[in-house]
Structure 1
């Protein structure tokens, strides 16, 4: 049913409002399906996409404040607290008082977190191949370029 509705909305020639809403719905459906596929595959690792983005950020930037992680991952503050709690309960990160600001916390990836990240990378390759393997490299680059431009618009 949704595919039929999207098809009709995206082909409505004279109504740009319908086409724009249809395109937004299509992006939402694609996001939901890809996120669901990745979360399902990551479940045995003990993390989800949000946790994976946190581990990637910690790998790239090292120990970081929750504020910095919010800024670099785009995860909102209340969700960040939950994600850090989940990762800490799983032994994947450690939360400590920041040495320079006793009110703030510094989040550090543990050795178990590093192992989980290595497993998650393999999962990511498998899911990515399943989702995007049917596209030629130039099509993938074009998709990334278009989505990046959309994401960076004000």
Structure 2
């Protein structure tokens, strides 16, 4: 199995095991985008997520209801609405990221891949952890 495929499988496994009680899997990506690009307009958020605007609106409404995101007037265009991650959303995202990092470490330590795949996998997981800001 290619190391990228293995890393993707480990990521999916971690998402299934931990963090879903904090933030549903589908919303986790939205929160990561909002964290990286605060102040996006809905159409830009939908594009970043590869979703239609109506689907993105429904997901965003659930995130707002949970207190993870907020809408506000766009600073450069008073008619437009920008979307930001709230402090609660940031905390929830950090909890999910930490749970993911812990789970990935446990899976890797359990001996998953063949010896020849360990080095590339560790590089990819390290890169993923760096991007996620994991401890």
Q: TM-score, normalised by structure 1?
A: 0.58
Within the candidate set 19, 44, 47, 2:21 is matched to 44
Q: Is the 8 A contact 2:42 2:81 kept in 1?
A: yes
Give how far 1:41 is off.
2.2
Q: Which residue of 1 aligns with 2:130?
A: none
**Greater Rg over alpha carbons, structure:** 1
Give distance in 2, aligned partners of 1:40 and 1:121.
13
1:48-81: CA deviations, max 9, x gaps? 2221111111221122111111222223323211
Q: Which moved more, 1:69-78 or 1:118-127?
A: 69-78
Within the candidate set 100, 107, 121, 2:83 is matched to 107
Q: For structure 1, list consecutive stretches of 5 or more residues without a partner in the other structure.
A: 1-26, 143-154
Q: TM-score, normalised by structure 2?
A: 0.65
Q: For structure 2, list consecutive stretches of 5 or more residues without a partner in the other structure.
A: 125-135
| 3-state secondary structure, aligned to 1:96 | strand
Q: Which residue of 2 aligns with 1:66?
A: 42
Higher relative contact order (CA 8 A, sep 6+): 2
Map 1:1-154; keep pairs closer than 5 Å: 35=12, 38-39=15-16, 41-45=18-22, 47-99=23-75, 100=77, 102=79, 104-129=80-105, 134-135=112-113, 136-139=118-121
RMSD over aligned CA atoms reads: 3.0
Give distance in 1, aligned partners of 2:100 and 2:16.
10
Equivalenced residues, count: 113
Give distance in 2, aligned partners of 1:83 and 1:132.
32
